[in-house]
Structure 1
Amino acid sequence: MESKSTKGAPNSTNNSYEIIERSPTVSEHQALWDSVSWGNLDTGMSEQSIANSIYAVVVEIEGQAVGMGRIVGDGAMYFYLQDVAVHPDHQGHGLGKRIVERLLAYIRQHKHEKGIAFVGLFASQGKEPFYEQFGFKDHSPGMTGMFTVFEPTAPQE
């Protein structure tokens, strides 16, 4: 993925945030997951997940990754926002909004020209209003988002 960046509003130390079109590194991905209490990720799983992204952005300040967001899906009709996270020390500066705006702009530009795009996400509890500002809504009771989790398989002996 070609790296492009835009500067953002200065923070309290008069430095600016930069949104860069690139995937997070495995260590950045794991550190940001941990910072927002999503749990620990296996290195191999993180690496494969990042590699299979359609598009990603990372927010940096002074070369340090403090936010990220990824798109996964089929690249034509179905797109899912994943791993939209901003380190708690950097929340409240509009970074999450800027990440989602960049991800949605990518989808608008790259969805199949003759069809609609279905864009989904799972919002952490209490974060629903944040995503509603972008047009996301709970479609129940007419439609229910569902998922299942496959636990790790025990090693064969």
Structure 2
Amino acid sequence: MSPYSLIERLPTPSEHLFLWEAVGWGSVDPETAASSIARSLYGVVVLHEDQVVGMGRIVGDGVMYFYIQDVAVLPDHQKHGLGKMIVERLMVHIRQCRLKNGAPFVGLFASQGKEPFYEQFGFKNHAPGMTGMFTVIDA
């Protein structure tokens, strides 16, 4: 029996902040994180001995556009298949949400060097024909 369990729920703001910082993504404003998490479509956490050690969530419109967001696993718990378990469950949820004749767009941003991990789920870099772009609006 695995020492890990996947639970279908969003991370709490404190769990989100803890994992966010633990994987080296910097810091995030707790109020901003709480509001963002509350507007998520779906999420999962991975527990080990009643502690959250991994998370992932889906944002988007829930019909045509889905974005996989915040897939993170504590460094001490990486290399145990938890990231794969998280993404597989998120993809199952997206497939369940799709409309009968729909073909949802599923996007994500991968940390540098993690592209091969996401390729196993069918994600690919579409450059140069299509480029992912983003901006951050600072105060």
State the TM-score bracket (shorter-chain normalisation).
over 0.9
Give the structure 2 partner of residue 63 of structure 1. 50
2:26 to 22, 39, 47: 39
User: In structure 2, what is the Cα distance between the partners aligned to 1:112 and 1:81?
Assistant: 18
Q: Which secondary structure state, in structure 1, belongs to the residue aligned with residue 93 of structure 2?
A: helix
Give the structure 1 partner of residue 70 of structure 2. 83
Measured after TM superposition, the shift of residue 112 of structure 1 is 2.0
RMSD over aligned CA atoms reads 0.8
CA offsets, 1:112-155, max 9 Å, x none? 2221010000000000000000000000111111111101x2xx
Q: Which secondary structure state, in structure 1, belongs to the residue aligned with residue 123 of structure 2?
A: coil
Q: Which runs of 5+ in 2 are unaligned?
A: none
Give the structure 2 partner of residue 94 of structure 1. 81
2:36 to 38, 49, 57: 49
Q: What amino acid is aligned across from residue 114 of structure 2 in structure 1?
A: K
Q: Which secondary structure state, in structure 2, belongs to the residue aligned with residue 48 of structure 1?
A: helix
TM-score by length of 1: 0.87
More relative contact order in 1 or in 2 (CA 8 Å, sep 6+)?
Answer: 2
| Structure 1 segments (4+ residues) deviating >2 Å | none
User: In structure 2, what is the Cα distance between the partners aligned to 1:23 and 1:129?
Assistant: 26
User: In structure 2, what is the Cα distance between the partners aligned to 1:145 and 1:24?
Assistant: 26
Question: Could you tell me the percent identity over the aligned residues?
Answer: 66
Q: Which runs of 5+ in 1 are unaligned?
A: 1-8, 11-15
Considering only CA atoms, is the larger Rg found in Structure 1 or Structure 2? 1
2:131 to 128, 144, 149: 144
TM-score by length of 2: 0.98
